[in-house]
């Protein structure tokens, strides 16, 4: 540059400072949003997919709606009390039965063999008892004959001894003859006492033997009666009047002891088996009332039994009708039940929905008047 040239100074803010300024402003804006911005979460949802209800003051009826299934008031189970093979089915399921009706017959050869052996043992014991009684009578008769003969001998020896005593006092007989008569009398008396004692002991022994045999025979006869009742158990019978609801075995099938062969429903009345969410388990007690509809007619019921088991988050109760029973009711039929949990009272009401399971009733979304968002 020569002396004639002149340096031209640039006017304004340099470009690089402008970029610094813009970057700083952007950074401040980001920090402002982070510090002072709305941190609440947001979720966009289609209005048609949500339920909107109005909060209002009204009478609060504390009840829940549950589903009940009709069951017979009582179900009687038919169990096999003997093992055996099904030979004949006399009544098919679905038919009405009377108490004592034979439903099916089973066979058990081992039981028949056991009965035969037991009968033989009973006959043997009865024969032993009869023999023991006969021997006792014969022995008793023999002892009585011996006692009679010995008593006669004692009487004769006593009479001779008494006579010889008089004769000896008059010196008409010798001392030896007198002593012999006395010794004969005394020995015959001792033999009589010994015979009587043996007779008493033998009678006691025979009586004990007879009593023992009688107890044994009585026990075996009772055992025989029990086994014969077991034989009668091969005919499975209805224990009550009702409907044969189910019958499981088939002809030719071998069923074991205690196997469930069927059920009988007593149709005098009906009950409702109700499944309830475990959330209400602390509020459900016996005596709670409920109302259900059958053929558009309301019927009332009361809880009579609560089952303690909770399965899949639900527990069961039984309800019976407190007044009339629906005329056309059928087993397996279902009905919605309004179960009253408490007395009605005034309060701020909100329709219960799916949110209650998620929030536990602690909070709900409130729709803004603009109906654009909810908080």
Predicted pLDDT at 170: 85
Q: What's the CA gap between 136 and 144, in Å, rounded? A: 12
104 in Cβ contact with 247 (< 8 Å): yes
Q: Is the pLDDT of residue 42 over 80?
A: no
Predicted pLDDT at 283: 86
Q: What's the CA gap between 117 and 105, in Å, rounded? A: 23
User: pLDDT category, 23, cuts 50, 70, 90?
Assistant: confident
Q: What is the pLDDT of residues 142-174, one digit of tens each?
A: 888 999 998 999 999 999 988 988 888 888 888
What proportions of the chain, in percent to the nearest 5, are helix, strand and coil?
Answer: 40, 30, 30
Report the Cα 135 to chain-centroid distance in Å: 54
Of the candidate ranges 1-5, 193-197, 199-203, 237-241, the one whose mean pLDDT is the lowest = 1-5
Which single residue is written with the structure tokens 């008089």? 166
Full-model pTM: 0.52
Q: In Å, what is the CA distance from 170 to each residue of 163, 174, 185, 194, 308?
A: 11, 10, 21, 35, 111
Report the Cα 255 to chain-centroid distance in Å: 21
Q: Is the pLDDT of residue 218 over 70?
A: yes
Q: What's the CA gap between 319 and 286, in Å, rounded? A: 9
Half-sphere exposure of residue 115: CA atoms within 13 angstroms, side-chain side:
13
Question: If you average pLDDT over each of 26-30, 96-100, 281-285, which comes out highest?
Answer: 96-100
User: What percent of the chain has a predicted confidence (pLDDT) above 90?
Assistant: 17
305 in Cβ contact with 285 (< 8 Å): no
User: pLDDT category, 58, cuts 50, 70, 90?
Assistant: low
Q: Which comes out higher in pLDDT, residue 32 or 304?
A: 304
User: What percent of the chain has a predicted confidence (pLDDT) above 70?
Assistant: 86
Q: What's the CA gap between 317 and 71, in Å, rounded? A: 12
Q: What's the CA gap between 104 and 244, in Å, rounded? A: 12
Residues 6+ apart with CB under 8 A from 335: 67, 68, 70, 272, 292, 293, 294
What's the burial of 49, exposed, middle or buried (CB within 10 Å: 0-12/13-18/19+)? Answer: exposed
Q: Where are the alpha helices (DSSP H) in the chain?
A: 15-36, 109-169, 175-232, 355-359
Q: Describe the crossing of helices 109-169 and 175-232 by its angle, rounded to 10 degrees.
A: 170
Q: What is the mean pLDDT of residues 62-69?
A: 84
Q: Is the pLDDT of residue 103 over 90?
A: yes
Q: What's the CA gap between 330 and 72, in Å, rounded? A: 9
Predicted pLDDT at 6: 53
| Rounded (5°) CA angle 35-36-42 | 100
Q: Which comes out higher in pLDDT, residue 10 or 141?
A: 141
Specify the 3-state DSSP secondary structure of 180: helix
Q: Where are the alpha helices (DSSP H) in 48-174?
A: 109-169
Predicted pLDDT at 1: 47
Q: What's the CA gap between 213 and 128, in Å, rounded? A: 8
């Amino acid at each position: 540059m020569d002396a004639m040239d002149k340096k031209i100074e640039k006017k304004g803010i340099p470009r690089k400072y402008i970029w610094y300024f813009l970057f700083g402003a952007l950074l401040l804006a980001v920090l402002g949003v982070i510090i002072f911005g709305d941190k609440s979460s947001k979720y966009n949802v289609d209005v048609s997919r949500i339920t909107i209800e109005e909060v209002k003051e009204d009478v609060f009826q504390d009840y829940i709606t549950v589903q009940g299934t009709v069951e017979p008031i009582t179900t009687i189970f038919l169990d096999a009390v003997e093992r055996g093979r099904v030979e004949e089915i006399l009544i098919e399921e679905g038919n009405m039965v009377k108490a004592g009706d034979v439903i099916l017959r089973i066979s058990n050869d081992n039981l028949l063999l056991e009965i035969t052996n037991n009968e033989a043992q009973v006959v043997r014991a009865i024969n032993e008892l009869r023999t023991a009684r006969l021997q006792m009578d014969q022995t008793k008769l023999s002892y009585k004959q011996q006692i009679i003969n010995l008593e006669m001998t004692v009487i004769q020896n006593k009479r001779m001894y008494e006579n010889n005593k008089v004769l000896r006092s008059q010196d008409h007989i010798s001392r030896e003859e007198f002593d012999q008569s006395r010794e004969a009398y005394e020995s015959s008396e001792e033999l009589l006492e010994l015979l009587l004692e043996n007779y008493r002991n033998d009678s006691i022994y025979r009586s004990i033997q007879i009593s023992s045999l009688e107890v044994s025979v009585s026990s075996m006869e009772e055992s025989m009666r029990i086994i014969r009742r077991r034989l009668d158990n091969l005919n499975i019978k209805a224990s009550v009047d009702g409907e044969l609801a189910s019958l499981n075995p088939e002809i030719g099938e071998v069923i074991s002891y205690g196997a469930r062969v069927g059920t009988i429903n007593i149709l005098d009345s009906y009950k409702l088996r109700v499944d309830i969410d475990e959330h209400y388990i602390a509020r459900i007690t016996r005596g709670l009332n409920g109302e259900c509809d059958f053929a558009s007619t309301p019927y009332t019921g009361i809880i009579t039994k609560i089952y303690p088991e909770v399965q899949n988050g639900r527990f069961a109760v039984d309800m019976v009708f407190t007044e009339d029973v629906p005329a056309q009711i059928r087993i397996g039929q279902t009905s919605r039940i309004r179960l009253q949990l408490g007395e009605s009272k005034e309060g701020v009401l909100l329709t219960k929905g799916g949110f209650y399971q998620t929030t536990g009733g602690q909070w709900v979304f409130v729709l803004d008047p603009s109906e654009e968002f909810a908080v």
